[in-house]
Structure 1
Amino acid sequence: MAEQTGTGTDVVGGTTDDETAITAAVARTAAADTLLVALDFDGTLAPFADDPGQVGALPGSWAAVLTLDRARDTHVVLVSGRSLESLERVTQAPPSMSLVGSHGVEWRVDGQPSEALSDDERAAVDAVGAILDEVGARHPGVVIEHKPAGHGVHTRRVSADAARAADDDARASVSAAHPDVHVRAGKDILEFSIRHVTKGDAISRLRTILQADAVVFAGDDTTDEDGFAVLDQDAADLGVKVGPGDTAARYRVEDPAGLTDVLKALARLRATR
């Protein structure tokens, strides 16, 4: 991996960005008989952009992902908060690659279809979407993203004060009509989900389905902490936090470019087993 400027072990969470430690951890995890590589997309494989439809994975990371997807006894799954349709569109992932959207609600995994929403859930999705459209109309620059099982309030294009006002309005408006809706705060997004499923639930289910002996999970956002929480990082699992912030991941890289080096090293090891 390319040389990084490390700060050692973080005070919070025992997380390290030491290159030597990360290299050793990658080698340990790469030795697993069957490996699950679960990866967030936005902010992890791809840098953020003001227009979510115009993002793309870093070329080096995507090349490594494709190599891993072809490697023996290695399963790559993109696990994203995006809707499955949006994830398919921005990644152009090959059919062989599994995708999980909406934080675990939607699945494109061979033999494991999404669990359909009930009539009541679909009605709740529509009702909450209408409420949030009204919120968006009250806050110029705020973008409402509609998903099959929920909705996102995007505030990347507005000031911090405007974002707080929009988020407060969205929380209060939805809670007044649908107090049971699950709310997640992420980077410049507030998400409202009808079904409470997390990336941790998705990773645990994937581990069982694929009979993985070890799991790699990389993510950048607070919503990815559910994924890190289900890893056994004292054994063979590898959790990598991309960017700043408190985390349960054992290892950290500075940004998506830093993750490229990790994925390249992992791909080399799995491809030459």
Structure 2
Amino acid sequence: MEFLDYNIKFDLLKKYSAANRRLILLDYDGTLVPFFPNPSEATPGHNLIETLNRLNTTKNDICLVSGRNYQWFENWFAALDINIIAEHGACYKLRQQAWKKESQADSSWKEGAKEIMQLFVLTTEFTFIEEKEYSMVWHYRQATSEQVKQQAEKLYEHLSHFALTKNLQVFRGNKIVEIKHKGIDKGNAIVKLFNKDDYDFILGIGDDYTDEDMFRALSGVANTYTIKVGIDSSVARFNVYTPQMVVSLLEAISYIP
């Protein structure tokens, strides 16, 4: 684990300045904004919107890569003509284009997964289910009981057993348990939508397990900086402590032509 210190940041800014084609890939929750008890509260502030707008130049391909649903991005980022990958790659929108979705997958599994999750909502206070088009998430960020981690582990086990005979995978993230279609992930979406050889500078930043797929897709590519937010080990080359440090870095590069 190597933290982004002054010397590394100086080298990053120098290579960014010298580059003619840049790809900037950014997770949202926990990366550009801190986590909130309710995901609906994590809205982008004016400063973040202005920073992203300055980064959205002819030299840059900037892309938000998130697990959030595309309708949320349409509500908050429609005014910015930037690339957006939503639901871990299930939905995406490129500059000056309409939203596109992966081919419709079987969603009959959702009812069974929801029934399992609902049992844990009923037995664990302040937890709730978020249903997306290609995944379902059990949130427990607001839960305060000492047993909630045990409940999360039990739910993970139940859903993993449920997913065995289906084309699904289950993950534990930051105060969430998520079940989604296999093969839909940030790494595959990036490879599909962007030719890494087209760029002489790439920056990828994320904080959660879903971003590891993005980091792997960028691993070994020249002039690439991958950054994990937080102190967990990662495939990413570097770590920073907080989303505020990410936004500070983006602000610094946004003023470089």
Do the two structures share a fold, i.e. TM-score over 0.5?
yes
Deviation (angstroms), 1:261: 2.0
Q: 2:58 aligns with which of 69, 72, 78?
A: 72
What residue is the counterpart of 1:178 in the other structure?
A: 163
* TM-score for both structures, normalised by structure 1: 0.83
CA change 1:253–1:223 in 2 (3 A) is same
2:134 pairs with 1:149: yes
Question: Which residue of the partner structure matches residue 128 of structure 1?
Answer: 113
Cα drift, residue 233 of structure 1: 5.3
Q: CA deviation at 1:143?
A: 1.3
Tell me how far apart the structure 2 counterparts of residues 23 and 195 of structure 1 sit (CA, whole Å). Answer: 39
Q: Which moved more, 1:257-266 or 1:24-33?
A: 24-33
| Residue 22 (1) aligns with residue 14 (2) | no
Cα contact 2:156–2:172 (8 A) shared by 1:
no
Aligned to 2:67: 81
Deviation for aligned residue 1:30? 4.3
Q: Look up the equivalent residue of 2:143 and give its one-letter code.
A: V
Q: Detail structure 1 runs of 4+ shifted over 6 Å in the superposition.
A: none
| Correspondence 1:190 to 2:177 | yes
Contact 1:124 1:194 in 2 (8 A): no
8 Å CA contact 1:231, 1:237 repeated in 2 = yes
- 1:163 pairs with 2:148: yes
Please name the residue that 2:19 is paired with: 32
Q: Does 1:96 align with 2:75?
A: no
Give the 3 Å change call, closer, same or farther, for CA 242–57 of structure 1 in structure 2.
Answer: farther
Length, aligned pairs only: 253
* 1:183-219 deviation line (CA, Å, top 9, x unaligned): 1221111110023322111222232299444321111
Give secondary structure in 2 for the equivalent of 1:122. coil
Change (3 A) 1:184 1:205: same
> Which of 157-166 and 208-217 deviates more?
208-217
Q: Which amino acid aligns with 1:35?
A: R
Checking the alignment, whether the CA contact within 8 Å between 1:61 and 1:263 is kept in structure 2 is no
- Whether the aligned pair in 1 keeps the contact of 2:33 and 2:243 (CA below 8 Å) is yes
Deviations 1:108-144 (A, max 9, x none): 22377211323xx211233322332233222221111
Q: Which amino acid is 1:43 matched to?
A: G
Q: Do residues 256 (structure 1) and 249 (structure 2) align?
A: no
Q: Is the CA contact 1:233–1:250 (under 8 Å) kept in the aligned structure 2?
A: no
Q: Aligned in 2, Cα 1:211/1:39: closer, same or farther, shift over 3 Å?
A: same
Structure 1 CA distance, aligned partners of 2:4 and 2:111?
A: 43
Gap regions ≥5 residues in structure 2: none
Shift of 1:58: 5.0
Task: Report the equivalent of 1:46.
Answer: 33
Moved more, 15-24 or 148-157: 15-24
Q: Which runs of 5+ in 1 are unaligned?
A: 1-11
In the alignment, the residues of structure 2 paired with residue 132 and residue 124 of structure 1 have an alpha-carbon distance, to the nearest angstrom, of 13
Q: Is the 8 A contact 1:99 1:107 kept in 2?
A: yes
Match of 1:106 among 85, 91, 95: 91
In 2: Cα distance, 1:234 partner to 1:117 partner: 32
Q: Which has the higher contact order (CA 8 A, sep 6+)?
A: 1
For residues 56-109 of structure 1, give each alpha carbon's deviation from its aligned partner in whole angstroms, at most 9, with x where no partner exists: 23544432211111x1131111100112223333x3342512211111111122
Scaled by the length of structure 2, the TM-score of the pair is 0.87
